[in-house]
Structure 1
């Protein structure tokens, strides 16, 4: 699946900014929207989507498949393809499964031990994982000809998830502590500093043992990659100086650019210059563990940013300037997903909106737009379930205009649904990730503040 940067570049959630009275650093989550039947549907959707990473996992590695097509239209050798970023989302989903009683703690531990064993012997490149592996062997499956080595962005999504697992088990049984220590070793071996490509003050997305830096992708904000810079600054063994973030990601302040849509304002310059904030996964991937609530630096208030992006996405679909069928205040959500013709980065904008709704956009935005997300989930579940809901939850995308309802799933779209629904419900993954002492160190180095560290 193509990386978005290559392809293109109220009633809102109440943010609880005060720290808890104990010293755990945990931040309270939101209360589940309460109307008759809401909780039952919420549970059903979360549990069914979790199954993508449990029953639907690649069996040898125990990790997430890149995709799964119930309709068997796509070449089925992809059933063996493991995706590193989606795997990170998947290990977070397993923690949700344990907490929600979908599986037992023992079952979750056993699966995660299988996954970590695979990662310890699978291909790595200066500590960074490739975008794809063959699940049976752990050998790299090239994403493209020159993209056959380390992928630091996908690695960061994976490490974000693994650090949550480390924190979850680090005070457990001896077996659990051992797993946590093995994860810690993987984290410490990622050479973030290598991916500066000769000590430049920017991070590069790719490095290949065959093609070196030929992909030549210096990652600048704003997009889905904030977590990579946070982890790079936080690494206890291969950390990068603050200048890499400020000069590379933030472009010496050039990242600041206001965009307005009706009553909502964005603070940052979105890569590719989409008119109204870009595909909604930019508000999800980095924030599955990194808690945006009250997270601020000199460039933005990230809680406000992600909420504004979600509200603009919702309002664009309600306004529906291109008059597509099926858009409404109960059916909305534009992000990168399958499309009627291939794969596209759907977003608010006359060029970017192709009439394709991706359920992950609304469902993974529960912490930001709880009422709007609940309305969409209930409408799809109660009125469109036959077309939209399958063995692993809602299918990836659909278009009423084109009468297009493919029965297909992508790991990087299913994972944020499970994780962000749980962050809305309990704050589980946010509290785990933000409890990492290295993350506090890294955020402080970069000039961030967060209620978790008061």
Structure 2
């Protein structure tokens, strides 16, 4: 991405293309599983696989892959999940219609004694439903995609995942049972609750959603009143699939905005925080922001410019209360493009052309960079993550597409399970 300056549209298309190529090259063609990150001997991530399923339609529309190739890849993935072992064995692929967070890339079995993840299963199922909505041709293969996507969604036992409580648990392990944490406080679980409420087979009870929204925090930060969540990605991931413009639940009706406007405000809070830069990190400013759950240069404690700085590894960084160690995630900036293009596009321009964060990378943006960390680096802007993550690549491809054409929003507006879930969560107005 150098030489003569491209138009914004051409630049976005190029970023989509190079980001999508992660899914072309870091996927096992035998089972459709997508590598979590580009480190040696790393497992697959079911969330990244869900993003891939949602990205294949974008790739077809943009000419990044043929429809036939996308159908083949999608079918392989859905068949794998439908036929993979579901049970309480320690090395199954899933249980009760949910799946383990990490799976072995080759065998598709549970990796690292990880948890059966309700949120990552939600991303996987949302990707499957996207495929089912997009591949609508009257052919045997596309009919099978629709059938499998539907069957996978119907198999998830959301009531079981509640474990008798008001809110949904984070997950389950065969060794120890349910994880003690539940999805409470505003975050990416917005999608999870809507999918759970929309289920025709094992739906969450209606009071589950009200129990969740009762744990929300409405705050005033940097001049904005908004529903608080610290990491930027929590304001984005549910919006990949659901167009929240003009529709409101009871909480948003009281506060006079919708979740889309809330994400716009959260994006501005991120920029304002970087401009205020209360912790005096290097580089922060109006075109250099984006704090989220991400990779980092730590764990490390180093004196930098006379200040002792603590740097972290992978962590849920957030604004304005931290943790913040000077690490910025350009992918999370891109994923806010539909909400606030007027501040996102100049930031992308800065990250691409000044900091050159996409130069010489096979898949566009690396996960993160940290201008404060005193690493010996060929990049004058400090430490740059060595890795690409599937979880970052997906939102880049999908949110650029929503900004440009609204493709995913249009597809999912017609998905009966999404509309049913929204209505059971008491959403109304707008396109609903």
> TM over 0.5, yes or no?
yes
What interval of TM-score do these two structures reach, taking the shorter chain for normalisation?
Answer: 0.7 to 0.9
- State the match for 2:242 in structure 1: 290
Change (3 A) 1:172 1:379: farther
1:223-282 C-alpha deviation (Å, 9 max, x unpaired): 1111111011000111122111112x123xx42x3311233111x3x4xxxxxx301000
Check whether the contact 1:390–1:407 (CA below 8 A) recurs between aligned residues.
no
TM-score (normalizing by structure 1): 0.83
SS in 1 for 2:38: strand
Aligned residues: 393
1:38-65 C-alpha deviation (Å, 9 max, x unpaired): 1221111111001111122234322321
- Tell me the CA shift for residue 290 of structure 1: 1.5
1:178-233 C-alpha deviation (Å, 9 max, x unpaired): 211111111111111111213x32211212233222x2222213111111110110
- Tell me the CA shift for residue 295 of structure 1: 2.6
- State the match for 1:363 in structure 2: 334
Structure 1's unaligned 5+ residue stretches are 1-34, 70-75, 271-276
Does residue 187 in structure 1 map to residue 139 in structure 2? no
Return the match for 2:231 from 276, 279, 282: 279
Please give the alpha-carbon distance, in whole angstroms, between the structure 1 residues aligned to 2:60 and 2:352: 24
SS in 2 for 1:207: strand
Does residue 347 in structure 1 map to residue 318 in structure 2? yes
Please give the alpha-carbon distance, in whole angstroms, between the structure 1 residues aligned to 2:147 and 2:322: 48
Please give the alpha-carbon distance, in whole angstroms, between the structure 1 residues aligned to 2:357 and 2:369: 12
- State the match for 1:108 in structure 2: 70
SS in 2 for 1:142: coil
Check whether the contact 2:101–2:117 (CA below 8 A) recurs between aligned residues.
yes
Check whether the contact 2:351–2:357 (CA below 8 A) recurs between aligned residues.
no
Q: Which has the higher contact order (CA 8 A, sep 6+)?
A: 1
- State the match for 1:392 in structure 2: 363
- State the match for 2:143 in structure 1: 177
Q: Aligned Cα RMSD in Å?
A: 1.8
SS in 1 for 2:319: coil
- Tell me the CA shift for residue 386 of structure 1: 6.1
SS in 1 for 2:352: helix
Return the match for 1:212 from 156, 161, 177: 177
1:325-351 C-alpha deviation (Å, 9 max, x unpaired): 222222221111101111122222364
- State the match for 2:82 in structure 1: 120
- State the match for 1:423 in structure 2: 402
- State the match for 1:196 in structure 2: 162
Return the match for 1:238 from 176, 180, 202: 202
Check whether the contact 2:75–2:141 (CA below 8 A) recurs between aligned residues.
no
Return the match for 1:77 from 41, 53, 64: 41
- Tell me the CA shift for residue 387 of structure 1: 6.9
Alignment of 1:326-341 (within 5 A): 326-341=283-298
Return the match for 2:281 from 324, 346, 358: 324
Check whether the contact 1:130–1:151 (CA below 8 A) recurs between aligned residues.
yes
Segment drifting more, 290-299 vs 342-351: 342-351
TM-score (normalizing by structure 2): 0.87
Segment drifting more, 101-110 vs 320-329: 320-329
